Amino acid sequence: MSLRAVRAGVSSDTRDADPGASVPAAVTPALLARTIAELRRARHALAARSTDSIVAALSRVVDAWLAPRSTWRTRAETLLPAATGFSPAMVRHALPTMLDPLRAPALGELIAAEAGARRGPELILHVLPGNLPGLAAIPAALSLAIGSAALLKAGRGDRVFPELLVESIAAHDAELGRCLAACYWPGGDPAAEPVALAAADLVVASGDDATIRALAAGARGRFIGHGHRVSFAAVSRECTTGEAAAQLAEDIAIWDQRGCLSPQLCFVEGDVAAAVGFATLVAAALRPLAQRLPSGRLSAAERLAVRRFRDEAEWRGFGGERTRLFALDGEGDGTVVVEPVPVFEPTPLCRSLRVVPLADLHRLPAVLAPARALLEGAGLAAPPERWPGLAAALAASGVHRVSPLGAMQRPPLDWRQGGRPRVGDWVAPRG
């Protein structure tokens, strides 16, 4: 087993400007300080409210978002493609999945299970990751449900959704709305960021390791960081079907593979021929998805990374390795590479997958061991009698969520991201 490294060279010489992306305006430190003061004031009212009443109000907001012809969703669907680069069809398809887990009674049940009567700190700062739209919904709802005010720091790509979310909550419940604010500053901004980090009683942040380290160093209160993670699929020899391939293809295509639950590898039980067979099916399944859920806009750097991934696979084949490449027309439409020997190595995303043969799925723990700290989710296709054993082996290998293929991107609200409770860590310790 080896951890082979694909080099994606990065040079400080080139600032890879993405001409399509507009850079949102940053909040000024003065405005941010005023916002924080208002959040703290508003939170006093929240402290007097019952959890049930807050949860009920939030459920109404979620229902309003998910209702047919929801004006909130319509507005988001209108604004998000331009703001994030995702295709309109993808936004329409995937945005509801970001709110769906909050439907009653899930929110109330989670709060009861993890927080009970304990309330959260006065002010939580959520530093949201990159540009997966809709990621603000769950942190915002959970914060309010435990009685905390929340400041949502939007990622560069999506300032639209957090603002719409705040507006929608305020429209349904002005008191809750006053306890929530969305703002943006460039990550690491020396003016705004310290103001927010110094004010928050708790910082919950997602991002790459360097971002997490920098934020943790500046946080005054408690800090919870979620670093980048890798997810994968495992398909038993009984399940290498077209249906499994189609489900996996959908898991890959959602949000163009940018979620931490997006599979980047697929282990196929059997030999190289079995892996090639399944890879063929996955590539075939990605093709109609390129029409139904078109890829978003790729930056020049992403395009280059995908091309490098493809070139690498193709030339390894010309060089005599049993690597196989299945490449759809557009760089963002899909790339499937069969790796002849077991490796655990991510891909450049943009719907690209490594398919790795493994004689027996019970050997997965050995393959996963070097990546243990980076694992998040696994999509499993296995017959019922093998499922418990394989799921247990995956959990023991450091996987935090095992789901069937096709459901990898729809985690329930109580998904323990990074192995941590969802809100249990946010509230004051028991006793």
Partner 1 sequence: MAPLYDRVLAFIDDAGTERFETLALEVFAHQFAHCAAYRQYCLTRGRTPAVVGEWQAIPPVPIVAFARADLCCGTPVRTFLSSGTTGGAANRSRHQLPDLRLYQRSAVAGLRRFLFPDAPRMRLVSIIPRADERPESSLAQMVAWAMEAFGSADSVYAVDPDGIAFDALVAALRGSERDGQPLCLFATTGALVRVIDYCREHALAFRLPHGSRLMDTGGDKGAPRHLSRRGILHAAWHAFAIPGYFCVNEYGMAELSSQYYDSVVADRVRGQHRPRRKLGPHWVRTLVLDPETLTAVAPGVRGLLCHVDLANAGSAMAILSEDVGSLAGDGFQLVGRAAGAPSRGCSLTAAQWDAA
Q: How far is 402 from 261, CA to CA, in rounded Å?
A: 10
143 near partner 1 (CB under 8 A): no
Site string for partner 1, 366-405 (x = CB under 8 A): --------x-------------------------------
Going by C-alpha positions, the residue among 259, 345, 350 that lies closest to residue 299 is 350
Q: Which residues of 352-382 are buried (b: 16+ CB within 10 A; e: fewer)?
A: bbbbbbbeebeebeebbeebeebbbbbbbbb
247 near partner 1 (CB under 8 A): no
Query: Can you say whether residue 254 is alpha, beta or left, with left for phi > 0 and alpha for psi between -120 and 50 degrees?
Result: beta
Which residue, 308 or 363, is less far from partner 1 as judged by CB? 308
C-beta neighbour count of 236 within 10 angstroms: 20
Please report how close the Cβ of residue 305 comes to partner 1 at its closest, in angstroms. 4
300 near partner 1 (CB under 8 A): yes
- By DSSP bridging, strand 335-338 and strand 352-358 are parallel
Cα dihedral sign for 304, 310, 313, 314?
Answer: negative
Please report how close the Cβ of residue 4 comes to partner 1 at its closest, in angstroms. 7
- By DSSP bridging, strand 123-127 and strand 202-206 are parallel
Residue from 309, 351, 355, 400 touching partner 1 (CB under 8 A): that is 309
145: amino acid identity, one letter: A
- Whether 224 contacts 204, CB under 8 Å: yes
302 near partner 1 (CB under 8 A): yes
Query: Can you say whether residue 147 is alpha, beta or left, with left for phi > 0 and alpha for psi between -120 and 50 degrees?
Result: left
Please report how close the Cβ of residue 227 comes to partner 1 at its closest, in angstroms. 8
31 near partner 1 (CB under 8 A): no
- Whether 275 contacts 323, CB under 8 Å: no
Please report how close the Cβ of residue 338 comes to partner 1 at its closest, in angstroms. 15
Q: How far is 247 from 252, CA to CA, in rounded Å?
A: 9
134 near partner 1 (CB under 8 A): no
Which range in 100-108, 138-146, 286-294, 340-348 contacts partner 1 by CB under 8 A? 340-348
Which range in 53-61, 235-243, 299-307, 408-416 contacts partner 1 by CB under 8 A? 299-307
Which residue, 178 or 324, is less far from partner 1 as judged by CB? 324
Residue from 60, 93, 303, 322 touching partner 1 (CB under 8 A): that is 303
Give the footprint of partner 1 on this chain (CB under 8 A).
4-16, 129-132, 135, 157, 206-209, 226-231, 255, 257-260, 262, 264, 299-309, 311-312, 314-316, 318-321, 345-350, 374
